[in-house]
A and B are shown apart, each in its own frame.
Chain A
Amino acid sequence: MTDHGISGPATGAPLRAMLARVARRAEAVVLPLAALMAGFAVFSLFLLMQGKSPAEFFSLVYKAGFGTAFSWQNTLSRTAPLLFAALCVALPARLGLVVIGGEGAIVLGGLAAGALGVSLAGAPAAVALPLMALAACVVGGLWIGSVGALRYLRGVNETIASLLLAYIAIALMNHLVEGPLRDPASLNKPSTAPLADALRVGDMPGWDVHWGLLAGIAGCVLAWALIDRTTWGFAARIAGGNVRAAQVQGLPVGRLILGFTALGGAFAGLAGFFEVAAVHGSANASLASGYGYTGILIAFLARHNPLAIIPVAILLAGFEASSGLVQRRMDLPDATTLVLQGFVFVAILISETLYGRLRIFAPERWSTR
Chain B
Amino acid sequence: MPTHPFSRRGFLRSGAALAGAAAVAPLSALPVSAAGDLTVGFIYVGPKDDFGYNQAHAEGAAAVKAMAGVTVVEEENVAETTDVQKSMESMINFDGATLLFPTSFGYFDPHILEVAPKYPDLRFEHCGGLWSADKHPSNVGSYFGYIGMGQYLNGIAAGHATKTKKIGFVAAKPIPQVLLNINSFLLGARAVDPSITCQVIFTGEWSMAVREAEATNALADGGADVITCHVDGPKVVMETAASRGCFLCGYHADQSPLAPDMYLTGAEWNWAQVYTDMVTTTMNGGSIDNFVRGGLAEGFIKMSPLGPAVSDAARAQFEATKAEIMKGGFAVIKGPLKDNAGNVIATEGQAFAETDVALESMGYLVEGVIGSTS
Chain A residues close to B by CB (< 8 Å): 53, 55-56, 59-60, 63-64, 67-70, 72-74, 77-78, 171, 174, 178-179, 187-190, 206-208, 275, 279-281, 284-286, 289-290, 320-321, 324-325, 327-330, 333-335
Contact = CB atoms under 8 A, between A and B. Distances in A.
A286 B27 contact: no
B10 interface: yes
A329 B90 contact: no
A155 B291 CA distance: 58
B76 interface: yes
Given A178-B173, A328-B95, A334-B75, A77 B82 contact: yes
A327 B2 contact: no
Contacts of A188: 105, 128, 175-177
Question: Which residue, of B74, B85, B106, has the highest number of chain A Cβ atoms within 10 A?
Answer: B106
A279 B82 contact: yes
Interface of B: 1-2, 4-6, 10-11, 14-15, 17-18, 25, 27-30, 47, 73-83, 85-87, 89-91, 93-95, 105-106, 109-110, 128, 173-177, 204-205, 360-361, 374
B81 A289 contact: yes
A178 B27 contact: no
Contact of B82 (A63, A78, A206): A78
Contacts of A68: 11, 14-15, 17-18, 93
A286 B28 contact: no
By DSSP majority rule, is chain A's interface helix, strand, loop, or mixed?
Answer: helix
Closest 6 CB pairs of A and B: A206-B5, A68-B14, A334-B77, A286-B80, A289-B79, A56-B27
Given A56-B29, A189-B106, 10 more contacts: A64-B90, A68-B14, A68-B18, A70-B14, A187-B175, A208-B6, A281-B110, A285-B205, A286-B79, A290-B79
B11 A69 contact: yes
A174 B105 contact: no
B81 A286 contact: yes
9 contacts: A69-B10, A70-B90, A74-B89, A171-B204, A178-B374, A188-B175, A207-B5, A280-B110, A286-B79
A55 B75 CA distance: 21
B15 A324 contact: no
Nearest to B78: A324
A77 B47 CA distance: 24
Question: Which residue, of B85, B90, B175, has the highest number of chain A Cβ atoms within 10 A?
Answer: B90
